Structure 1
């Protein structure tokens, strides 16, 4: 038996009339009657009481009707769902992002996508830029917000925002009253920065900022995460050049200041060009729509 036989049964169970049930199934009555008889024979159960005038469900038939309605309902739901998944209207999308992007573009992206695709489960994964690059290549992320590390022919890329670096320090630091600070003033400062292995674009921007003036930055600590960097600065262990989105509320006892000719980093939304997940295309379109408001 299959769902086709269940539909034959349901047509008769709901109409209790062979002629009307056969018509519903676009059949003549004799072959329809044979189908009902075959169903009862296959199950070894009498589902209908019938005589020349009436058709009625047996107790077994009533129970079978309830079960068939549930099975057919689930089957129809599965058919609807598979079409929705294929069209990107339902399913799951794995979205990675740099932790500091949670202070800027990520909340808006997630909100707009949840509104546009409420039946797509968005799995959020906070990662370092290097981890994001590796996971996009491996296919363990469907899309991600990260720093633009340059040419990537295997990825589709949407520029979201250009973010400048600022310097953070303790409020009692001698440079805390300056309006702008340049690399020359930071020549002797202890710098806390993420390692190149974790955030290559960010570390390259910091190194280039100093090397343009012939200075080698005195990096004393290299934690992987920006929030850890901020906490170390708060303990007076050095100063740090961090994305401006993290400087709106740097924390108790801290202050941020503008950098002279501050380095600029592009924050992008990326996804594999060869993605098989149809839910990604809408995410990229939303990225393009907010690009106009962020740039």
Structure 2
């Protein structure tokens, strides 16, 4: 059984989307389907239930997902032992990061890291949170620079180091009655129709927007959902009534007819975090962690 097939299954078990997994693993969707069918035939059991609307793990699939992680961990550990015996080291790190909030910070750190450790190649790829966690889980990526709502629980499989925060804000059309305010409360926002990203396009859409309202006991009316935040911002240009919750760093997506307003509540923000799996045997990770901790001090 080939290791890359097991890696593909681990990612698919997290993402539960064939097209997204195929894109992440740099294969076509038909090839990914054949690989999963091969695993199912080899194991003699169905690992997934598939229809036109969703993909979910069977009981056997959930069991094999756990066993597959053990296989990858043992494989990488054995590989590290043999490389050490032969006097070879793994001089490559792969990083998943979440867009603009991390981009400038990551570039600054990597420029400094390369000055001291030019022998360690670092590859970076932009991804969404669910994709990044799947890449970390399969050890395709060694580190993730992620952003998540402050109330979202940490995944117990990973270690986390917070290094910055980004406040929650609300975007209005400039003709909105609240647009000229310096700060507004969540309860005031709840009085207006809300637009957000469609959860079918981004599974964590609620957590990144309207869950801040429900977490404070604020009821709201959902006006529209759009496939991504950029489309939400575009449509806000023509909607003088709606409100759009978003992190401050995404404010560049707003057009000339919209403004970004601060939230009055002081417990609404996003954490910027470095995330990794302690079971990952890549020897370069210890060096990277030490340099990063020195960088943020």
Aligned pair count reads 206
Residue 216 of structure 1 corresponds to which residue in structure 2? 220
159, 163, 167: which one aligns with 2:162: 159
Shift of 1:251: 4.4
Residue 265 of structure 1 corresponds to which residue in structure 2? 270
SS at match of 2:178: coil
Please report the TM-score for the alignment, with normalisation by the length of structure 1. Answer: 0.59
Please report the TM-score for the alignment, with normalisation by the length of structure 2. Answer: 0.59
Deviating 4+ runs (over 6 angstroms): none
The answer (yes or no) to whether the contact 1:188–1:218 under 8 Å persists in 2 is no
Shift of 1:196: 5.5
The answer (yes or no) to whether the contact 1:182–1:259 under 8 Å persists in 2 is yes
Distance of aligned partners of 1:111 and 1:231 in 2 relative to their CA distance in 1, 3 Å threshold:
farther
Residue 114 of structure 2 corresponds to which residue in structure 1? 114
Q: Which runs of 5+ in 2 are unaligned?
A: 1-82
Larger-Rg structure: 1
**Superposition RMSD in Å:** 3.0
Residue 243 of structure 2 corresponds to which residue in structure 1? 239
C-alpha distance after superposition, 1:95-139 (max 9, x if no partner):
111113245533333323333322322221111111111111122
Distance of aligned partners of 1:219 and 1:117 in 2 relative to their CA distance in 1, 3 Å threshold:
farther
Residue 178 of structure 2 corresponds to which residue in structure 1? 175
Distance of aligned partners of 1:114 and 1:231 in 2 relative to their CA distance in 1, 3 Å threshold:
farther
Shift of 1:141: 1.3
Distance (whole Å) between structure 2 residues aligned to residue 170 and residue 284 of structure 1: 43
Distance (whole Å) between structure 2 residues aligned to residue 232 and residue 103 of structure 1: 26
Q: Does 1:288 align with 2:297?
A: no
Q: Does 1:255 align with 2:259?
A: yes
Shift of 1:241: 1.5
What are the residue-to-residue correspondences of 1:127-206 with 2, within 5 Å?
Answer: 127-148=127-148, 149-194=152-197, 198=202, 200=204, 203-204=206-207, 206=209
